[in-house]
Amino acid sequence: MVEGGPIRLDKWLWQARFFKTRGLAASVVKSGHVRVNGNRAGKPAQMVRSGDVLTFTQAKAVRVVRVIAPGTRRGPAPEAQTLYDDLTPAPEATPETPVSPNPRYEGKGRPTKRDRRKLDLNHPGALE
């Protein structure tokens, strides 16, 4: 890895393995969903350097990363993780869901004719 030299934003996002293709990274930048040091990135060709802070959404989560170094290639994941420092805040704990008064599916499949008769209290065979 080369220290310090600028690199295109879309290329860096692709090399750091935040997006599967460089075209996908470019489309996210074009749509205005990436911020570099707090300012919206307008073009995929915008240059980023080590020390820049990037903020973007990825799969319904907001990611905040600091660029440590530009990459020379799209290598394996452990190599890609050396390109950035993750500053993303920890996800907030979701409150427990209240117990629903509705019955849950027990995984037994479709009820049989006999089971349906038992559920229907007005049916004469329900008392069996």
- Whole-number Å distance between alpha carbons of 125 and 93: 49
CATH code (residue 37): 3.10.290.10
CA-to-CA dists, residue 86 to 89, 99, 117, angstroms: 9, 36, 59
- Whole-number Å distance between alpha carbons of 69 and 6: 9
Q: Does 18 fall in a domain?
A: yes
25 in Cβ contact with 37 (< 8 Å): no
Q: Does 109 fall in a domain?
A: no
> What is the mean predicted confidence (pLDDT) over 86-97?
78
Buried b (16+ CB within 10 A) or exposed e, 32-70: eebebeeeebeebebebebebbbbbeeeeeebebebbbb
**Confidence band of 120 (pLDDT split at 50, 70, 90):** confident
Q: Does 45 fall in a domain?
A: yes
- Whole-number Å distance between alpha carbons of 56 and 98: 33
Q: Which domain holds residue 25?
A: 7-86
Q: Does 96 fall in a domain?
A: no
**Confidence band of 7 (pLDDT split at 50, 70, 90):** very high
Q: Does 2 fall in a domain?
A: no
Mean pLDDT of the chain: 85
Task: Please write the tens of the pLDDT for every residue from 25-64.
Answer: 999 999 999 999 999 998 999 999 999 999 999 888 899 9
Q: Does 95 fall in a domain?
A: no
Q: Does 68 fall in a domain?
A: yes
Q: Does 53 fall in a domain?
A: yes
Q: What is the pLDDT of residue 1?
A: 43
Domain count, the chain: 1
Q: What is the pLDDT of residue 101?
A: 64
